[in-house]
A and B are shown apart, each in its own frame.
Chain A
Amino acid sequence: MRRGGFILLLGLAVGIAAHVVYFNVHKPYDAGTLDGQLAWMKSELQLSDAQFARIKELHEASSPRLRALAAQVSQMQAEFVAFENTRRTSDRVDFIEFARFVEVRRNIDRECLDSTRRLVMAAANEMTESQREQYLGIVSATAPQARPLTN
């Protein structure tokens, strides 16, 4: 029984080891980091190493600006909430201030759209025709839409 038991345990250990190693090698990419997203894009679009390096460079270069714009948009949303609270509580609207807010928000929206469009176009220019088609299909969900100013 000792030899049979040993083979049984050996089979179990080999099966578990094969499972763990294969799963770790083919582990899904981390969605929370830029590296994880770009690695996923590389595999999804079958980018070459040179394409990947260039696209990574483009994303890393535009990342601080996009983050700053996102922070500005969040700030504008907070300002709008403050406007709305003032209007509700005191029933007064500072129209000059609100007009300034709308103008700033409009500029930020335009900058966001331009930055996104520039990044997408620059990345797409590094791709082949079929890769570009697939990439634009993925990012089309974020195509410029008519967004309400106060959103």
Chain B
Amino acid sequence: MPNPPDPLDPLLDRWTEPKGPVPNLAPEVWRRIAHEERNAPGIGGIWGELDSWLSRPPFAALFVTSCALLGLFLAEVRVNRQQRVQSAVLVRSYLQLIDPLLKANTVAKMP
């Protein structure tokens, strides 16, 4: 029973001995490495990408608006927190203002 033809056979038939080292092999290897590194997404790649996005007017406008909204949001959070604390202080101060007995007692308790 004959064996089925192997697809590797024609390739092996075309194979010949290498004719010595390829000229300029090392420079060619380094050139390819450098080319790959340039295209790799490293730090420069991220900044480059960011720069290209921010250079587009719609994205630049969106970015600046987002920064303004973030600043406003953080300010509102800060104001709310301060107002909560300050309200209690204001009530105490007002009560001391209208009640001399309370004021004198508070002053007396001060170290």
Contact = CB atoms under 8 A, between A and B. Distances in A.
Main secondary structure of the interface of B (DSSP, over half): helix
A73 B103 CA distance: 9
A142 B75 contact: no
Contact of B71 (A18, A29, A62, A66): A18
B63 to A, nearest CB: 5
A142 B93 CA distance: 12
Interface stretch (B4-12, B13-21, B35-43, B81-89): B81-89
Contact of A74 (B52, B79, B91, B107): B107
Contacts of A138: 91, 94
A4 B71 contact: no
A101 B37 CA distance: 93
A70 B85 CA distance: 26
A3 B51 contact: yes
B90 A23 contact: no
A127 interface: no
Contacts of A18: 67-69, 71-72, 75
A15 B107 contact: no
A90 B95 CA distance: 39
Interface stretch (A30-38, A46-54, A91-99): A30-38
Nearest to B80: A26
Contacts of A120: 98
Contact of A139 (B53, B74, B98): B98
Contacts of A27: 79
A141 B91 contact: yes
Nearest to B74: A19
Given A4-B47, A19-B72, 13 more contacts: A3-B51, A3-B54, A11-B66, A11-B67, A15-B67, A19-B74, A22-B79, A29-B90, A40-B86, A63-B97, A66-B100, A112-B101, A151-B105
Interface of B: 47-48, 50-55, 60, 63-64, 66-72, 74-76, 78-79, 82-83, 85-87, 89-95, 97-105, 107-108
Interface of A: 1, 3-5, 7-8, 10-12, 14-20, 22-23, 26-29, 31-32, 34, 36-37, 40-41, 44, 59, 62-63, 66-67, 69-70, 72-74, 77, 109, 112-113, 115-116, 119-120, 138-139, 141-142, 147, 151
Closest 8 CB pairs of A and B: A4-B51, A73-B104, A15-B67, A15-B71, A11-B67, A18-B71, A70-B100, A19-B71
7 contacts: A19-B75, A31-B93, A34-B97, A37-B97, A69-B100, A112-B101, A138-B91
